Structure 1
Amino acid sequence: MGHGGNVIDELMTDHREVEELFGRIEALPPGHKDRKVYADQATIELVRHSVAEEEYLYPAVREHLADGDAIADRELEDHSKAEQIMKDLESCEAGDAEFDRLMGQLMAEIRSHLADEEGNLFPKLRAACTPDALDRLGDKIRQAKKLAPTRPHPSAPDKPPANKLLAPGAGMVDRMRDALSGRGKHD
């Protein structure tokens, strides 16, 4: 799928890509090895997406929305739950019973989070920000995703400035580990 446009378009594209990966996982029988490949791909996309939101979207939400602090705090709590599930999922193989349980939990958590963002947060942000501000935010999100980690780091900071300082280094290490291990690649 093509990326670009304002922050809402960019993040909605990410949402559709993750949902497509979830659909691929659900279409395969339990224990199929490709379920782990797709789970790893979904984790990579979700972590990059979450880090970019934490670096740029949620600070903008705090700045531009009257109830921005409460919304951003709720979104960060959702991210924290999902990140811990993804961390637990890392050590599971597709044939493990725990894999199916965690994958189901992750899909439910993410689907609820995406529905909330799309139904509540994005319309409020679109109403509160100029089109130019949304475009600039989209550019920042795209840039952040390029440098973001690809693996869950539940204990990493999720608010600026610490997250902006540490994420690129963790991202570089994660991408090196992924390249060496072949993680997230389909045979």
Structure 2
Amino acid sequence: MGHGGNVIAELTADHREVESLFERIGALPAGDGERRRLADQLTIELVRHSVAEEEYLYPAVRRYVDDGDDLADKEIDDHSAVERMLKELEGCDAEDTRFDSLINRLKEAVTTHVADEESRLFPLLAESCSADQLDKLGDKIRRAKKMAPTRPHPAAPDTPPANKLLAPGAGMVDRVRDMLSGRGRQG
């Protein structure tokens, strides 16, 4: 993840990447071990994306968009629900009977969240911010994704300043764990 462009283009590209991962998982037969690897990749992408949004997008929404506090709070609540599902999915093998149910629930939650961001939040942000502000936010989002955790941490803070302080440390630990286990490597 790191597509380039302003914050809206960057996050929209992330959304398409996540949709593609859901499609790839859905195209494989139940119990196929490749589904677990793809679910790990999906988790990595969703966690990085969420952490970056919570660090930079939602504070900007609070600052620049009318009723931004309510919008940001709703989006953060969506993230919390998704992160709890990701944590549950983390403990499931592809053969586990809960795997398909969790993937379907996760896809529904993420699809609803993405539609809301793209149809409501992004246009409001585009109206409220200059092109330069949107470009700078895109750069911050890309940097945050590089340092973000790769595993769900539902109990971690999701608002500044605590999230900005703790996420890089959790991200480093997650990346070491991933390196040692081979998690997240392309197949």
Q: TM-score, normalised by structure 1?
A: 0.98
Query: Could you tell me which residue of structure 1 aligns to residue 88 of structure 2?
Result: 88
| Aligned CA-pair RMSD | 1.0
Instruction: For 1:2 and 1:178, locate their aligned partners in 2 and report how far apart those are by CA, in whole Å.
Output: 19
Percent identical across equivalent pairs?
A: 66
Residue 78 of structure 2 aligns with which residue? 78
1:57 matched residue in structure 2: 57
C-alpha separation in 2, matches of 1:25 and 1:107:
11
CA distance in 2 between counterparts of 1:74 and 1:154 reads: 16
State the alpha-carbon separation in 2 of the partners of residues 88 and 80 from structure 1.
13
The residue identity in structure 1 corresponding to 2:35 is R
- Distance in 2 separating the partners of 1:35 and 1:56: 31
Give secondary structure in 1 for the equivalent of 2:75: helix
Q: Determine helix, strand or coil for the equivalent of 2:92.
A: coil
* Separation in structure 2 between the aligned mates of residue 132 and residue 33 of structure 1, nearest angstrom: 44
Structure 2 distance, partners of 1:112, 1:183, is 28
1:119 equivalenced with 2:133 (yes/no): no
Is residue 64–residue 128 contact of structure 2 (8 Å, CA) maintained in 1? yes
* Counterpart residue type for residue 95 of structure 1: E
Q: How many residues are matched?
A: 187
Task: Give the equivalent residue in structure 2 for 1:14.
Answer: 14
Task: Give the structure 2 partner of residue 176 of structure 1.
Answer: 176
Q: 1:184 Cα shift?
A: 1.9
Unaligned runs of 5+ in 2: none
Give the match's secondary structure for 1:34: helix
Determine the C-alpha separation between the residues in 1 that align with 2:2 and 2:161: 30
Query: Aligned pair in 2 of structure 1 residues 26, 141: CA closer, same or farther (>3 Å)?
Result: same
TM-superposed deviation, 1:158: 0.3
Q: Would you say the 8 A contact 2:2–2:142 is kept in 1?
A: no
| CA deviation map 1:62-105 (0-9, x unaligned) | 00011100000000000000000000000000010111111111
Paired residue type of 2:95: G
1:23 and 1:101 map into 2 onto residues whose CA distance is 15
| Pair 1:173–1:59, CA change in 2 (3 A) | same
Q: Rate the CA distance shift 1:2–1:57 in 2: closer, same or farther, 3 A.
A: closer
Taking the aligned partners of 1:80 and 1:62, their CA distance within structure 2 comes to 18
| Partner Cα separation in structure 1 for residue 36 and residue 164 of structure 2 | 30
Contact 2:47 2:151 in 1 (8 A): yes
The Cα shift of 1:186 comes to: 3.9
- Amino acid aligned to 1:113: H
